[in-house]
Structure 1
Amino acid sequence: MTLGNTERTWEFVQQYRSLLEDWIPRDATFAIACEGHYLYHNGKEENLKGKQVATGSIAQLVLQERRKVENFLDHSSYNEPKYGNGYPIELDGMQGALVVYRPQTSELSNPQPVRLLTGKADNEWFPIQTDRITHLESFQKKTFFYTEDGQYSIANTLKELEKKLPPSFLRIHRSYIVNTACIERISRDFSSNLQVIITDGTELPISQKYVNEVRCVLGF
């Protein structure tokens, strides 16, 4: 008997289905995966039920990393791009993934900016208002954000955070997002590459990929 046909597991799937149908938008669909396969999917264009979870998909990332995954383009055969949020869940003691998909044009694809981030330092968690954050950094597959008082780690990637932060935050490098309100000046380093110096004296490089956007936003 396969996992998707066991009565107890199906009861858990049905419980999630009942809850989700009460609150997800009409233009959104959702899927539940466990042990590398989709157990349920309410999509009309394409039914993923019974199919193997694709490498690089939201469900695969959730199952592998056991964390919330947001705003990744799912590797599916939808006719239009769909984005989604994935959440780790349990199905009768087994690790699963719940993924809510939505069209790119959905109003949910432009959520209200977050006003705080919760970071970890010294085995404690601290909710920090975003206007206190000077910059964010990706280093050795980990993400950190900084205030004038300290450094905090956070589970989200820069790619995820870039879509959630207020407009005052600007991507300047594959490894850095800066709060433009904290930029003190813009200069060139010893190699004549542009960099920003923020209020605490930290120097952050501007990569060539983002130079034009930075110039446009900052007006220089």
Structure 2
Amino acid sequence: MMKANVGIAKELLQQYAAILDDWIPKDAAVAIAVGDRYIYYVEGIHQIELKEGQPVMSGSIADKVISERLKVDKIMDNTLFGASYYGIGYPIDLQGQPGALIVILPPNYHVLKHEPFRFLTGKQEEEWSPIPIEEIAYIESLQKKTWFYVDGEQFCTSHTLKDLQLRLPKTFLRIHRSYIVNILAIERISRDITSNLLLTLRDGTELPVSQTYMADVKKALGF
């Protein structure tokens, strides 16, 4: 039955090949899930820990596409598949069963498609200030709001961390579910009492690196 499903999946990809080739990079990974399992996966240059026959996990793009029957377009952290990625999921049907076709791309794919922010407009009390992006030391999600910090001053922005992660220059790095840091603002990297990484910024601020982003941080900073 699995081989039959895989054959169907390949036929489906061939049918949509012309459409897919119009916009999907040739090195993108592609997965197909039907019901509660992935029946097809072709690796791309940006690999995740996904295999044919693997169950669809709660919270994944495939899970949302199949349950809601809607296109899903979002960046995912490395909690489910061992690596952060940008995924686009499309609802499909195979022999009457609900399924999802997932295109898997690097997490910075949107940055490649859209010009990065050159400034952020921040709010303090009832005033707004456009701040050059390179002046921002770090960005924080706190109490359901997003804040960024410049020379010790705090500004509020309407963008979420996920939105910002797609449009910030490469000098900004996600280090925690609550923090994005400007690499140029880092003074030193050390370990805390639990051996997790701790970033100390030039203004003295200390930011923890969570286990979820540890590998990404080490790769980006080259150590």
- After TM superposition, the score normalised by the length of structure 1 is 0.53
Q: Which residue does the alignment assign to 1:77?
A: 91
Q: SS in structure 2 opposite 1:112?
A: coil
Q: Distance in 2 between matches of 1:217 and 1:114?
A: 20
- Conserved 8 A contact 1:56-1:74: no
Is 1:190 paired with 2:204? no
Q: Distance in 1 between matches of 2:139 and 2:183?
A: 12
Deviation at 1:206, TM superposition (A): 0.2
- Conserved 8 A contact 2:110-2:167: no
Gaps of 5+ in 2: 1-21, 24-67, 73-85, 93-99, 104-108
Q: Which residue does the alignment assign to 1:141?
A: 144
Which residue identity lines up with residue 212 of structure 1 in the other structure? A
Q: Which residue does the alignment assign to 1:208?
A: 211
Alignment partner of 2:173 out of 170, 173, 176 = 170
Q: Which residue does the alignment assign to 2:82?
A: none
**1:165-200, CA deviations, whole angstroms, 9 ceiling, x for partnerless residues?**
000000000000000000000011233221100110
Which residue identity lines up with residue 179 of structure 1 in the other structure? N
Q: 1:160 to 1:107 in 2, by over 3 A?
A: closer
Number of matched pairs: 136
Q: 1:56 to 1:158 in 2, by over 3 A?
A: farther
- Conserved 8 A contact 1:143-1:157: yes
Superposed, 1:61-100 pairs within 5 Å as 77=91
Which residue identity lines up with residue 218 of structure 2 in the other structure? R
Q: Distance in 2 between matches of 1:187 and 1:131?
A: 24
Q: 1:205 to 1:107 in 2, by over 3 A?
A: closer
- Conserved 8 A contact 2:111-2:166: no
Q: 1:122 to 1:211 in 2, by over 3 A?
A: same
Superposed, 1:143-162 pairs within 5 Å as 143-162=146-165
Q: 1:75 to 1:214 in 2, by over 3 A?
A: closer
Q: SS in structure 2 opposite 1:125?
A: strand
Q: 1:120 to 1:189 in 2, by over 3 A?
A: same
Q: Distance in 2 between matches of 1:55 and 1:77?
A: 5
Q: Which residue does the alignment assign to 1:126?
A: 129
Deviation at 1:55, TM superposition (A): 10
Q: Which residue does the alignment assign to 2:183?
A: 180
Q: Distance in 2 between matches of 1:126 and 1:119?
A: 5
Gaps of 5+ in 1: 1-25, 28-53, 59-71, 83-105
Q: 1:161 to 1:56 in 2, by over 3 A?
A: farther
Q: Which residue does the alignment assign to 1:114?
A: 117
Q: SS in structure 2 opposite 1:77?
A: strand
- After TM superposition, the score normalised by the length of structure 2 is 0.53
Q: Which residue does the alignment assign to 2:97?
A: none
Pairwise CA RMSD:
3.3
